[in-house]
Amino acid sequence: MVTGMGGSETLTVTKRVSKQPQQVPLVVPEVDGVKYLVSSRGETQWVKNVRANPNITLGETHYLAQEIPVVDRAILAAYKAKAGKQVERFFRQLRRL
């Protein structure tokens, strides 16, 4: 709720340099039993940290993250529906692929 978005979960990743945990509240859409991490602000530090070490935690559950190719990112519609108006301006700023 700190982000102003309901239904968020806490993502915990390992920072690339310090190796300390980084916690980020995220809206995490789930489609067909698969949870997706979406950065509405592009290539943030947490995104770079996940790419460097895909072993993450959402809440109390551990996962191995895998990046989805751009052509398969239809999940963004589900994310926008769940996150609501708070993220609309960020998506308007993204370049169209």
Architecture of domain 8-91: Roll (2.30)
Query: What own/partner pairs with CB < 8 Å and gap ≥ 24 does 51-57 have?
Result: 52/14, 52/16, 53/13, 53/14, 53/16, 55/14, 56/11, 56/12, 56/13, 57/11, 57/12
The answer on pLDDT for 7 being more than 50 is yes
pTM recorded for the entire structure: 0.70
Q: Residue ranges of the domains in the chain? A: 8-91
pLDDT digits (tens, 9 = 90+) for 26-60: 988 888 888 889 887 778 999 999 999 999 999 99
